[in-house]
Amino acid sequence: MAKINLKALSKQELESFIKESGLPAFRAKQLLHWIYERHVRSISDITELSKDLRERLEGKAYISNLAMLDRRTSVDGTEKFLFGLEDSESIESVLIPDKDRLTLCISSQAGCAMVCRFCLTGAMGFRRNLQPHEISDQIIAVGRLIGPRKITNIVFMGMGEPLANFDNVVEALRRITGQMKISPNRITLSTSGIAPKITELAVKAPKVKLAVSLNATTDAVRDYIMPVNRKWPLKALMEACRNFPLPARSRVTFEYVLLKGVNDTPDDAKRLVGLLKGIPSKVNVIPFNPYPGSEFKRPDEKSVMGFQNILLNAHMTAIIRKSKGQDISAACGQLKARYL
Ligand code: SF4
């Protein structure tokens, strides 16, 4: 009989496994603590259990671990990790230091089916959804590799569209906020704009922060650069954002990748002000970082500043974000592309 991966079990499933194994309920608590807080690699490392019990459990169960295939560090301190999964698929996670923060950007799918035109992951295509433990395990694996430093924030902005893997992402969020005890305030989920799932997220998941990769102010442009817009156009997306329940003093983050001659005009900036009216929000303006073969160009400094100024003059919070880790293929999907 194939062994059971304890990390693949939800809290309830692990409790049932312990019960069916004829063990008292507190053993499940011990296992959860050692797996999610002490980050053990195997059952034999759980020294709180007797040697006999560890051997008995190892006869029918194991704890999976992500395999690190590649690790690179940028001159700006950004670190990229490429991890192998049990079926030989691979995913990437990116660690971004910023003042007193250490943010880990994690993947929710191997590849992505959303085919945003400015994204290399989109160009690589969709492989499969990640299981909940493959999502939360990125935090455990990177945490082990960077000790004694501690990850302070989590963003779902790596490979994949989190809301297209909804149930597994919600279960991963339960584990991250429950078993791993990371505050939902420190977690941001970024979506390309699956409007009905934004609404569902507010009901079913722990109360994490929301980011939306917006990148256009008209349906015509957004249809072209982000095909998700053909199904859920700007009106539906803005409505879902407007109704998303935010914790006090919290805002929705809108990411806006500036593509030269496509979405970077003063009229775009003015339309953006109108679109975000009534939504507590901040805008991250990200000048596009071209990669070999990309069809888009980076706008010049003057148009970036001009775009930002229109937002600032309308009393919006607008921050220009520089792409980090460019020297080690920073943007979404580039580490994997390099590895392949
Ligand atoms: S930007 Fe995000 S949603 Fe769009 S293709 Fe890339 S990974 Fe997928």
pLDDT of 120 reads 83
For residues 281 and 276, what is the distance between their CA atoms, to the nearest angstrom?
A: 7
Residue 337 has a pLDDT of 52
- Say which of 79, 92, 134, 161 is annotated catalytic: 92
DSSP 45: G
Q: Among the options 112, 119, 241, 332, which is catalytic? A: 332
3-state secondary structure of 277: coil
pLDDT of residue 290: 87
CB 211 within 8 Å of CB 191: yes
Supply the pLDDT for residue 326.
63
27 CA from centroid of ligand 1 (Å) = 41
* Distance from Cα 253 to the centre of ligand 1, integer Å: 16
Six-digit token pair at 32? 């959860």
Q: What is the pLDDT of residues 203-228, one digit of tens each?
A: 999 999 999 999 999 999 999 999 99
Token pair belonging to 299:
């706008």
Beta carbon of 332 within 6 Å of any ligand 1 atom: yes
Backbone φ and ψ of 102, nearest 5°: -135, 100
With a 6 A CB cut-off, is 129 part of the ligand 1 pocket? no
Task: Write the burial class of residue 274 (CB in 10 Å: 0-12 exposed, 13-18 middle, 19+ buried).
Answer: exposed
Segment-wise mean pLDDT, segments of 10 residues, the chain, 340 residues: 95 97 97 97 97 97 97 93 95 94 96 92 90 98 95 96 98 97 96 97 96 97 98 98 88 96 98 96 94 90 97 97 66 51
Q: For position 68, what pLDDT does the model report? A: 96
120 CA closest ligand 1 atom index: 6
Going from the Cα of 191 to the center of ligand 1, the distance in angstroms, rounded, reads: 8
Helix (H, G, I), strand (E, B) or coil at 174: helix
Does residue 332 have an active-site annotation? yes
Q: What is the dihedral of CA 119, 124, 130, 133, to 10 degrees?
A: -80
Q: Is 39 left (phi over 0), alpha (psi -120 to 50) or beta?
A: left
159 lines ligand 1 (CB under 6 A): yes
